[in-house]
Amino acid sequence: MSELVVDASAAISWVTRSQATGAAESLFARLDEFALAAPHIFAWEVANILLGLHRREPRLDLGSALGELASLEITFHPPFAPIDVWATVPRARAWRLSLFDTNYLGLALEQGAALASRDRRLLAAARREGVETFDLND
């Protein structure tokens, strides 16, 4: 089973109708082919995005979305020590990514994993680094 690093944009597209795309639904149907992984920041990032979506779309059922996320069985990789976070800054600068997105790409590289995202800048950086990508934009 191959490993797939998922970012927040990928997960959100799987658990909210307003963010769903055909590409996301297609990959979602195949998730049993992958061991899902994410850095520790994933939970904070996804919860924050869901909260923002709920504020704009009050009908969004937060409990259901969070339950669906929990059912994905994502392996979370532990946080970095502060010195390791600071050491990531040059890599983020070179890739022209946020520290958060650098964390996703760094994990994919370290694990030899593919990366699923809707973030075009992250996907482009991953391709430049030779990482297999799943572009969930439609």
Query: Would you state the pLDDT for residue 58?
Result: 87
What is each CA distance from 41 to 8, 33, 37, 79, 128, in whole angstroms?
9, 24, 12, 8, 23
Encoding tokens for residue 49?
């995005």
> Which pLDDT band, with edges at 50, 70 and 90, does 35 fall under?
very high
Query: Would you state the pLDDT for residue 80?
Result: 74
Query: Would you state the pLDDT for residue 17?
Result: 86
Residue 18's domain spans which residues? 2-135
Please count the structural domains in the chain: 1
Residue 56: give its domain's CATH number: 3.40.50.1010
Q: How many CA atoms lie within 13 A of 78 on its CB side?
A: 4
